[in-house]
Amino acid sequence: MSQINENLIKKVFDEMTKHRPAMQKHLVTDEEEEDIMDYRVLGDLIIKNYPWPVGVELRRLFSGSMRQLDRMRLDQIFKTIERSIQFISFVMISQAWRDIENGQFKVPDGMKNDFESRFSVLSMGTYTWLIRMLGTAYEEQKIEWFMPEMNTNFDKKFYAALDFWVPERNEIGHYQINLTHEEIEKRCVEYEEKLSFILERLAFLAKYRLVSVNEIKVKKHKKQDARFKHTIGLLNSSDSDFKANEIVESKYADSHCVLFLRSLKSFDDFLNLSPLIIDTHSETIDAKEKFDIKKDVFLYTKFRGDQIMYVGTEVTEKCDLRSLSNYSVLVNEFKELISVMTK
């Protein structure tokens, strides 16, 4: 683990422990023992406590192949910041959609007019625009976020930190300018510090859990009320071998979708992040048309000609997901989202 990784890990881990104090037990408090602190353990805990789309990018950044201050590491820093703000923008949109339907939130005209065109093909600029517009609107309308930490953590300094990445991503991330080896080294150091600031502001994500609802079964006995057994995949892990869990509730959540939960103990309150984030691990490959489907967590990236397209978190090649059993549902939900945000 390089010294640079250690600095980032220590800062982010310290911030995470403020939201999940139980993580403190992994810190060394005796200064004389500082040299034996295992940053690999702390890094693994950071990865596990961020939602998978963010955690998997950090896993790559912390890997042995990224220890050099080279172009590969610089690209991964960009990828990590992009996935982080993409995820948080999807959470914000999902809550806005719910709050609009509940009559609690009104979309600002400036956002309403541009939403469909900007959201049809995503970019770093779109994510920062969404976060600033929704963050400002929720503050003005005095609405609390599902994650109340956003009310204080998303301030002018945070928005300015996001804005920094847009021109950098466009020029350097897309190879529009050539950098010398020395310039790449300097940017790796500078950008990691800026990435650390964003991750510290998003450390509260460790309080919440991202899950995939794979199946819901009804449990009903004579003279007893119905109970619903949810089989879920916990999408917080240091690898993609997601553990299956069961939650039995007197009420049922949405099925075959990705949810953001306050607690794994109940579905009292949650955000449904589908169709923006989907999980294909529970898909049964029962027809030739499905042979190209990869088991992964996918994030929405563009919508064209009634086709919704996704990018995988582990799968690197392009995947055509139109043969998914719930694909038509995803498309209809996406169209509904556009309608709700623009009407």
> Where in the chain are the domains?
3-203, 208-256, 274-343
Note the pLDDT of residue 33. Answer: 54
Q: Which helix (H) or strand (E) holds 292?
A: none
For residue 98, what pLDDT band results from cuts at 50, 70 and 90? very high
- What is the mean predicted confidence (pLDDT) over 236-243? 77
- On the question of pLDDT at 106 being above 50, the answer is yes
Task: Report yes or no: 250 and 227 within 8 Å, Cβ to Cβ.
Answer: yes
Query: Judging by DSSP bridges, how do beta strands 297-304 and 277-279 pair with one another?
Result: antiparallel
- φ and ψ at residue 261, rounded to 5 degrees: -110, 150
Q: Which helix (H) or strand (E) holds 86?
A: helix 71-101
Note the pLDDT of residue 1. Answer: 44
Query: Judging by DSSP bridges, how do beta strands 297-304 and 307-312 pair with one another?
Result: antiparallel
- What is the mean predicted confidence (pLDDT) over 289-312? 92
CA distance 27 to 259: 31
Q: If you ran DSSP here, which 8-state letter would residue 147 be given?
A: S
Note the pLDDT of residue 257. Answer: 87
- Which has more pLDDT, 284 or 133? 133
Q: What is the pTM of this model?
A: 0.91
Amino acid, res. 56: V
For residue 238, what pLDDT band results from cuts at 50, 70 and 90? confident
- On the question of pLDDT at 176 being above 70, the answer is no
Least confident of 12-26, 108-122, 180-194, 258-272: 258-272
Amino acid, res. 225: D
CA distance 237 to 49: 7
- CA–CA distance from 339 to each of 107, 108, 115, 116, 321 (Å)? 12, 14, 10, 9, 23
Average pLDDT score over the chain: 89
